[in-house]
Amino acid sequence: MMKVKLCLLSLLLILHVALSGANDTLVYRLRLNVPVADFPQNVTLPGHVPSMNQALEWSNDFYELGFWGIDALGNKLFNSGDRSGSKWRTFSGNVFKYVLSLGFSRFGSELPIPLGVWGHEEFHRSVLGVRDISSINGNWLFNRWDGTVYGISDLTLGNFKTTDISHLLYSYVAGVQYEILMNEKNTLGDFYKQRSMTKAALILYNAYYVFDYFKFSTSSLSDSVKIDAPPNENKDPVYRDFAGADLTAWVYDMYNPDQPYTSRDNFPDGEGVNRRIGFSELSEEAQDYLVKQKKLSLLNFVNPAIFFIDGIKINDALAFNFFTQYAPTHFGNDIAFYLPIRYRKYDMLFNAHRYGNRSGNGYGIGLGLYNFELSGKLQTDFTVNFWNQPESFFESGKISGGLLGLTTKYALTRTISGYVSVTGKSRGWLLGNPYLKSNISMQMGLCYELP
């Protein structure tokens, strides 16, 4: 019901308004970013590909292609002939595109190809993989189509919790971090380089997806599913989803770090434990915490791009946008504020973070310079992040560190560019990076931009 209300609200309030570009006269019909190689993940991960970044970019490329097709279809149906300038035809075309793109975002995401659910599961797998835990994506055409990550035994999960609970907790919440990062990527991308068709429907759906997952996890429905699901699951734990339900498993293990994994309820009429945790099984304090996280996840709706505002133009030289972002983490949560700015030829980003655990907060900032022209064919992106994060959920100790990133892009043709990206980080968590320890990574790939 809430999804329907949000969709109708955004349609009624905004759809008739002309889309607002950031500050660029060039409008793109299609933008693809194809990371061909990502080291060390393509070497060290079980199965080698995809890396976390490849999962994000490949799935976003499929969304790009889908939205491109919807845009072209809408233009053909509503903007042909002498009446192409009619306000009614323009309005009808925008309604058609939005409804179709919302349906694609909602139902297309579940297809067993590189789209939403596939990317969500790959984010789980990336965090598991950097700890050398092999798993299988359960939303892939050649595996099965049920939105799971499987192939992991109870023994492996038990050892994982005992030896590295931070990464176990990270693996639980990495899935919803995919939807959050996808929104960040598209909000920033469509601000710096305007797209002919807005991705408002996808950004709305991803924000709703995260909230709805918290809503499910804080309701009695999570208890009902724990009872109703096992008869439809494999009796062998290796073929069951590794988390059961991501967010209740996250809070349960976060509040019980020393409790053996095998202390969970037995799986009915099968082997091992029932990996699903119901809301009623959580302690009162854990329940209160999870309900608070559900409310905080509403911050992901504070994004003008949901309402077709990709940028706010002050004058010919200056434009900006803003959005807030909530993400659950292995130590608690990250609440962030993003401020992208375009001033003349400079594409800049400022962001501030509050990292919270049970006992206190840490803080962080990030700065970025994007699409900076070094020459006619050469562009560069530069990012820097600093943080002072909680070490874990219960402990008051902090981890201080940061990240430096440099991407160089060279135009091979008018529409195709090749790029190399290098990032180096210290200890700590960063959205879109599967490593909690220090790491240096390099990506290489191709970009395709069609005006």
Rounded mean pLDDT of 274-291? 97
pLDDT level of residue 5 (50, 70, 90 thresholds): very low
pLDDT level of residue 85 (50, 70, 90 thresholds): low
Mean pLDDT computed over every residue of the chain: 93
CB under 8 A, 24+ apart: contacts of 318-325: 318/23, 318/342, 318/343, 319/22, 319/23, 319/191, 321/22, 321/187, 321/191, 323/187, 324/299, 324/300, 325/180, 325/183, 325/184, 325/299, 325/300
Assess contact for 247 and 172: CB atoms under 8 A: yes
Looking at the chain, the whole-number percentage of residues with pLDDT higher than 90 is 89
pLDDT level of residue 129 (50, 70, 90 thresholds): very high
pLDDT level of residue 80 (50, 70, 90 thresholds): low
CA distances from 258 to 64, 162, 319 (A): 44, 8, 50
Q: pLDDT tens digits, residue range 212-241?
A: 999 999 999 999 999 999 999 999 999 999
Q: How far apart are CA 437 and CA 198, in angstroms?
A: 37
DSSP string, 248-262: HHHHHHHH-TTS-GG
Q: Please tell me the total count of domains within the chain.
A: 1
pLDDT of residue 401: 97
**Paired strand residues for 347:** 342, 370
Residue 385 has pLDDT above 80, yes or no: yes
Q: Which two tokens stand for residue 116?
A: 């939403």
User: Among 10-14, 65-69, 342-346, 433-437, whose mean pLDDT is lowest?
Assistant: 10-14
pLDDT of residue 7: 42
Residue 1 has pLDDT above 50, yes or no: no
pLDDT of residue 88: 85
Q: How far apart are CA 163 and CA 177, in angstroms?
A: 23
Q: How many CA atoms lie within 13 A of 180 on its CB side?
A: 28
Dihedral angle of Cα 92, 95, 100, 105, to the nearest 10 degrees: 160
* The residue type at 59: S
CA distances from 69 to 28, 62, 63, 279, 336 (A): 13, 11, 10, 42, 33
Rounded mean pLDDT of 18-34? 70
Rounded mean pLDDT of 384-407? 96
pLDDT of residue 25: 61
Q: Which two tokens stand for residue 235?
A: 């009796």
Closest CA to 384 of 420, 333, 349: 349
Q: pLDDT tens digits, residue range 150-192?
A: 999 999 999 999 999 999 999 999 999 999 999 999 999 999 9
Residue 317 has pLDDT above 90, yes or no: yes
Q: How far apart are CA 109 and CA 117, in angstroms?
A: 6
Assess contact for 139 and 121: CB atoms under 8 A: yes
Q: Where are the alpha helices (H) located in 131-164, listed in sequence order?
A: 154-163
pLDDT of residue 399: 96
Rounded mean pLDDT of 61-74? 97
> Domain range spanning residue 197?
2-450
For residue 33, the SS3 value is: strand
